[in-house]
Amino acid sequence: MKYDICIIGSGAGGSPIAYELSNIGYRVVVLEKGPYLKEEDFSKDEVAISRRDLYAPLLKDEQHVINQYEEDGTVTRYEGSEYSWSFWNGSMVGGSSNLMSGYFHRLKPNDFRLKSKYGEISGANIVDWPISYEDLEPYYTKVESIIGVSGDAKKHKFLEPRSTKNFPYQMLEVNDATKWFDSTCKELGYESFPTPRAILPYASLNRDGCAYSNFCGSYACATGAKGSARAALLQKCNAKIISDAFVYKLDSDEKRVTQAYYYDKDMKSHIVEAKIFVLAAQAIESSRLLLNSKNNYFPNGLANNNNQVGKNLIFSAGGNGEGRIRFENLTKEQQEALMQPGLFFNRSLQDEYEYKDGDRKIKGGTVDFLFEHANIINRAKKEIYDDNGSLIWGENLQKKMFKNITTSRVLKFEIFNDWLPTDYCNVIIDDKVKDKYGVNVGAINLYSHPQDVKVGEYLALRAKKILQHMGAEDIYVNISSAPPPNLVAGGCRFGDDPKISVLDANCKAHELDNLYVTDASFMPTGGSVPYTWSIYANSFRVSDVIKNILKS
């Protein structure tokens, strides 16, 4: 099979290139290891999602090894299948974008120059990006229209520069409880603003609008309102999509990738040839594939003669918290507002996107506020203990569940701040464990810089203060160094210096003329927002680069 472009992975990093290039006549193939599921295949099956991890491979078949650096300097090895520790998130056409909540924040201009703006941090490999916010801004705007982003670009201290006045889609309907949240923030001197979401508020772009089920995070969207790579791009392009295709090796000569090898679901091997190869298999898996693709020209793995592939892996730092708002603390009008079904909360704070610590300016982050997920299984699991921590059951459990679910509501917050790249957080190949395809699995060397938790705790104090002033009870905060598997980046960072980066400013491998990496692997730092919008925007940017190359 010969194509102009072969794309490995079908999520937010690969799909814009498939969409842009196939729709102007180029022969594009997309290889995706998971199945091709569509809106009619999706349901709110809570047992399948919350208890059986429906959209991820079985760990006995496919896993990662985790080498965790402990506080005392020792390293503990965990095999994912033994400890039920999974770093998979959305193995299907469209990837994890099917399962995202769709919180879409742009990076700020200073996110592109973390080192020059905030200075070096001991033990962290901070670098400036080789591109600027101004380079990416037109593509953020493009994503708003093509993917479908709803919101209200309310002015606040850290609102990034925009080339358009507002989002192309009006913000989603929100619960009336946001009114007293906004007034509480104002009293405390904070500027709350509506959270931008990659969710259509009404039918548009040949997709249906939001059904307001509140089953967004971890669930695929049955209406197509959520701006997944599948719904927004792949179902509207002319690329050939081959699902159940696990790419296990890339081959090359000295300067060019020549072939991709993949197994189908029957374990039959196939070969794809193309002029250009685009790798977008998810940050951990993209590094794994390159490291496993050794040959005479690249004995350390493809594009890895400088030994940089897999280095500087990052996640999103921060954590979460919550508080329960009870009827007895509210007016009748507030009670009615709080229990409005379906409507989102959708409020964010970025007042502390940077802050002062003594004389030093510190990079802070984003706090998103949202209602507890509608999944009744997870909500019920919280009620099985009494105030003393003893297990309850029967009528006592029934009464507690009924009261808390019908006369109170949990308001949550999620914190996003930079996970600093270090020498100790990276991807390598495990020499012992293989997957069901007989390929050595990726090993994640896991380490979090102390600054990550420090910033998260600073932001959590502000979020907790808001919940307290709203009268919330049972306030709980969890800021830790635990990595969220759905927010992973780095491993193939881009930069101008080939000695310390894998890719150039256009996400082309320094050492190969026709290999691009466009998932979150390219990011040298992650900013203090979820990554998906920036992945989309950068992939559309690289699409223009590839167009010009193919034209010439």
pLDDT tops 80 at residue 446? yes
Per-residue pLDDT band for 352 (boundaries 50, 70, 90) equals: very high
pLDDT tops 90 at residue 52? no
Q: Are 501 and 421 in contact (CB under 8 A)?
A: no
pLDDT tops 90 at residue 341? no
**What whole-number distance in Å separates Cα of residue 179 and Cα of residue 255?**
59
- 427-443 per-position pLDDT tens digit: 999 999 999 999 999 99
pLDDT tops 90 at residue 361? yes
Q: What's the whole-model pTM score?
A: 0.96
Domain boundaries of the chain, sorted by first residue: 2-159+180-196+208-551
Contacts 24+ apart (CB under 8 A), 115-122: 117/361, 117/363, 118/354, 118/361, 118/362, 118/363, 119/360, 121/420, 121/449, 121/451
To the nearest whole number, what is the mean pLDDT of the chain?
95
Helix (H, G, I), strand (E, B) or coil at 172: coil
Per-residue pLDDT band for 342 (boundaries 50, 70, 90) equals: confident
Share of the chain above pLDDT 90, in %: 86
Nearest to 518 by CA among 18, 104, 1: 18
Within 8 A by CB and 6+ apart from 469, the residues are: 184, 187, 188
Q: Give the lowest-confidence range in 18-27, 34-43, 172-181, 399-408.
A: 399-408
Q: Which tokens sit at 152?
A: 């209200």
Structure confidence at residue 132 (pLDDT):
98
Structure confidence at residue 324 (pLDDT):
94
Per-residue pLDDT band for 376 (boundaries 50, 70, 90) equals: confident
Cβ atoms within 10 Å, residue 248: 18
- 131-182 per-position pLDDT tens digit: 999 999 999 999 999 999 999 999 999 999 999 999 999 999 999 999 999 9
- 202-215 per-position pLDDT tens digit: 999 999 999 999 88
Q: Are 284 and 313 in contact (CB under 8 A)?
A: yes
pLDDT tops 80 at residue 91? yes
Structure confidence at residue 1 (pLDDT):
74
What are the beta bridge partners of residue 31?
Answer: 8, 242
Per-residue pLDDT band for 374 (boundaries 50, 70, 90) equals: confident
Q: Which tokens sit at 180?
A: 């007293």
CA atoms within 13 A on the CB side of 125: 21
pLDDT tops 80 at residue 332? yes
Per-residue pLDDT band for 494 (boundaries 50, 70, 90) equals: very high
Structure confidence at residue 33 (pLDDT):
97
The structural architecture, per CATH, of the domain 2-159+180-196+208-551 is 3-Layer(bba) Sandwich (3.50)
Within 8 A by CB and 6+ apart from 254, the residues are: 297
Give the pLDDT mean for 111-117.
Answer: 97
**What whole-number distance in Å separates Cα of residue 547 and Cα of residue 551?**
6
Q: Which tokens sit at 227?
A: 């701006």
Number of H helices, E strands in the chain: 13, 20
Where is mean pLDDT largest: 42-51, 106-115, 208-217? 106-115
pLDDT tops 80 at residue 15? yes
Per-residue pLDDT band for 375 (boundaries 50, 70, 90) equals: confident
Structure confidence at residue 329 (pLDDT):
83
Per-residue pLDDT band for 532 (boundaries 50, 70, 90) equals: very high
Q: Are 97 and 55 in contact (CB under 8 A)?
A: no
Give the pLDDT mean for 460-466.
Answer: 96
Structure confidence at residue 448 (pLDDT):
96
- 77-86 per-position pLDDT tens digit: 999 999 999 9
Per-residue pLDDT band for 529 (boundaries 50, 70, 90) equals: very high
Structure confidence at residue 54 (pLDDT):
84
- 289-322 per-position pLDDT tens digit: 999 999 999 999 999 999 999 999 999 999 999 9
Structure confidence at residue 214 (pLDDT):
87
Contacts 24+ apart (CB under 8 A), 404-408: 404/324, 405/376, 405/379, 405/380, 406/339, 407/326, 407/327, 408/324, 408/325, 408/326, 408/327
pLDDT tops 90 at residue 63? yes
